[in-house]
Amino acid sequence: MGVIGFKCVDTGENVSFDKCINCALTYENNCNFTADILKGIMEEVTESREKISVTRLIGCPRATYLINRHDVYVSPEKLYWAFRGVLGHAVIERYKADPDAILEKRFARTVGGIKITGKPDIIIPKYELMRDYKTTKEVPYFNRVYPNHEVQLNIYRWLVRKEYKIERLEIVYMDMKKTKIIPLSPKKIWKLSDCEAYVLERASILEKAFKENKTPSVPGEFPLYWQCRDFCDTRDVCAGIYQEELRADFDKWAETEWAQVD
């Protein structure tokens, strides 16, 4: 279960990854996606359902649960951001300059019965430095990383702590005009115990949802709003569930109001 195919940009039908890519390989497809881009998107959005990535852990728990419980087809247009992320990774993989740097190594830990995995872009052990590359429409104007990127880097630091001591965290932002390296200030680097507590809280929500086979509620955290609007793989599934929840809440409210009238 998870993202198992694309919603065709041309016809709107659900198709397998292979069918969509093979269509692009005819070089007569009616959409603007090449087979190479489609393959890149596919590889970025497919992952084992037996583990939870750091990105999904810090995101909406409802989306993480639903992606593990439903087969989902998403338009490549909605997933293009995933391929854009590959571009930054390709730069450091192809043009690696520091022979001691650790690139794209996957780490894993189990917390609260949930296996958490993550793959930091680059670790430079001798400088106790971890960097993550982010492609963006425009690099941040102020020297502050975006809140979700701050959380992600801190959780990566916690994830690798048994193998590497990391004291410096940086985001390398790249847009179409320039790059910008923004370090996290010491105040923004969490205590490892706080990271552990954050991960445990999130993992516990997911463990309970999987055990009870019950969709978790939507969190009220503001940073998640942009994900709900444009970047959620399970948006359609979630919308249906949300309508049912609203209907149930209304029925409960109406029942209470009528009881008071009687």
**What pLDDT tens digit does each residue of the chain (262 aa) get?**
578 899 999 999 999 999 999 999 999 999 999 999 999 889 877 765 557 889 888 888 888 888 888 888 888 988 887 777 777 777 778 888 899 999 989 999 998 888 899 999 999 999 999 999 998 888 998 899 999 899 999 999 999 999 999 999 999 999 889 999 999 999 999 999 999 999 999 999 888 988 999 888 776 654 455 566 666 777 777 777 767 766 665 556 556 656 555 5
Of 183, 82, 87, residue with least CA distance to 130: 183
In 45-140 the beta strands, taken as DSSP E runs, fall at: 52-53, 71-74, 102-103, 107-111, 114-118, 122-124, 129-135
Distance of CA 163 to the CA centre of its chain: 24
* pTM for this prediction: 0.83
CA atoms within 13 A on the CB side of 241: 15
Give me 231's structure tokens.
């970047």
Give the per-residue pLDDT at 222.
43
Give me 91's structure tokens.
């730069």
CATH for 2-214+221-250, options being 3.90.320.10, 3.20.20.210, 3.40.50.920, 3.40.50.300: 3.90.320.10
Give the per-residue pLDDT at 22.
96
Neighbours of 221 (CB within 10 A): 11
